[in-house]
Amino acid sequence: MSKDDFRLFLSAVSSEFGKARDALAADLRSRELLLRVQSDFRQEPESDTTLKKLHDYIRDCSAVVCVIGKRSGALPPPAAAEPFKHMLPPGIATASYTQWELFFARHFKRRLSIYIANHDHKPDREPASEDDPALQEAFLAHIVTEQGLDRSYFSNEDQLCRAVLKEDWPKKRQREEICTDYIDEWARRCDLDGWTGWSSFVLGSDRPQMTVARDHELEELGPWLLGRVWPARYPTVERAFANFRVVLQDFRNTFRENAEKPTPDNDWLLTVKFYQIKEWDEERYERLGKAYSFHVALVQDLMFELTRAANLICDEVRSSIMPTFRLTQGRIMVESGPHLPDVSWRTFPVDYSAEEKGQLMPYPGLAAFKQARFARDRWFGDPKSEYCRCV
């Protein structure tokens, strides 16, 4: 390793944060950062004790990320700690291995990032028998109350990974930083966390509807996506976003063809039941009814397609940039109903098939989609409808 390499040490108690630490390590390695984590530790010729090995690793690293919770982890034997006692701050006589990692980082003046778990964080497993809660409480008091060290808080693995990835790591990672900023903004703008809720108003009846505010946000999202300048390194991610943008445009245009506010001051856009005619004409009523059913099903099938496109983006981001992106939340789901005969509501994911994902643009455009949707995993439309012609 050259002296110019930026090396990062991840510190955490395994019983509490082992999974989060390994997930964070995978994300950071995807950015080509050089890491030291417990799973990588090996026998070192110049380190006769575990604590000496930690000392040497941190001495030779560039930065330390400390993930801290309610557990201290195991303590080194007194004999192993004796050579380093001068590195402990005043008032602290003993420390666990993970506490020593922070004290070593402070001693060697390494870049230090501290992430403390909120009370609602769920640990991986039961603590080891040698854990010392009182010692950990004193350690947290030293960090927060006595020293007032800069720190951030998190509640789950995803929050931790996202926060650490947003740090200003070496500038040669700037391409990844650009991408992660775009990805975060896209997730915020289309409300991935609330996707199941807002899309259910499109899928949950024979009258697709949407708030005016949501429609406006989707209207602004399309041009925003079109204006992004992507680093050339991630073509599959860029194509996934392009596919999403085209689906979004067709979904919104199709929905807006027959959607309006019931009253000028209403906050919702509702699909107009254009088959309801003032003067009775059975033939016209039947024809408009079929057209309405086709339109509603097409809007709903485009909502399915937009969800597939969003899941494709998440898959490509995990494959190319951030392996743990939205793993905590899981796949983007939709909810539809009521379904006969039991009048039930159902929540489920929709995804492109492996073959569809292999295409440059899984979405074929609106005209072709009117038929292609019937080869997808789910659809609302009637393949026998006279309106399902590619024109």
Taking only the tens of pLDDT, the chain with its 391 residues reads: 344 467 889 999 999 999 999 899 988 887 777 776 765 555 555 567 899 989 988 998 889 999 999 999 999 999 999 999 999 999 999 999 999 999 999 999 999 999 999 999 999 988 878 899 999 999 999 999 999 999 999 999 999 999 999 998 875 456 677 888 899 999 999 999 999 999 999 998 889 999 999 999 999 999 999 999 887 778 899 999 999 999 999 999 999 999 999 999 999 999 999 888 888 888 888 888 999 999 999 999 999 999 999 999 999 999 888 888 999 999 999 998 777 788 788 899 999 999 999 888 999 999 999 999 999 999 998 887 665 543 3
- Beta-carbon contacts of 153 under 8 Å, excluding residues fewer than 6 positions away, are 115, 116, 117, 118
Report the DSSP beta bridge partners of residue 26.
Answer: none
Dihedrals phi, psi of 143, to nearest 5 degrees: -70, -50
The pLDDT, as a whole number, for residue 4 is 45
DSSP, res 194: T
The pLDDT, as a whole number, for residue 389 is 43
Cβ atoms of 321 and 176 within 8 Å: the answer is: yes
Question: Residue 7's closest CA among 48, 89, 64, 46?
Answer: 64
Give one DSSP letter per residue of 100-122, joined into a string.
HHHHHHHHTT-EEEEEEE-TTPP
Segment holding 334, helix H or strand E: strand 333-339
Helix 282-320 to helix 235-257 angle, to the nearest 10 degrees? 160
Report the DSSP beta bridge partners of residue 73.
Answer: none
Structural domains of the chain ordered from first start: 7-169 (3.40.50.10140), 173-375 (no CATH)
Q: How distant, in Å, are the alpha carbons of 114, 181, 222, 255, 304 from that of 166?
A: 14, 8, 25, 36, 31
> How far does the chain reach from its first CA to its final CA, in angstroms?
61
Segment holding 163, helix H or strand E: helix 157-165
The pLDDT, as a whole number, for residue 356 is 95
Cα dihedral: 107, 108, 110, 112 (round 10): -20
Give the Cα separation of 225 and 378 in Å (integer): 27
Question: Residue 99's closest CA among 60, 129, 56, 54?
Answer: 54
Helix (H, G, I), strand (E, B) or coil at 324: coil
Write out the two tokens for 322: 């951030």
Q: Which amino acid is at 269?
A: L
The pLDDT, as a whole number, for residue 171 is 54
The pLDDT, as a whole number, for residue 368 is 96
Q: Which region holds residue 126: left if phi is over 0, alpha if psi is between -120 and 50, else beta? A: beta
Segment holding 271, helix H or strand E: strand 268-271
Question: Residue 365's closest CA among 247, 252, 241?
Answer: 247
Sign of CA dihedral 54, 59, 64, 68: positive
The pLDDT, as a whole number, for residue 129 is 80
Q: How distant, in Å, are the alpha carbons of 6, 152, 248, 359 from that of 164?
A: 15, 10, 31, 34
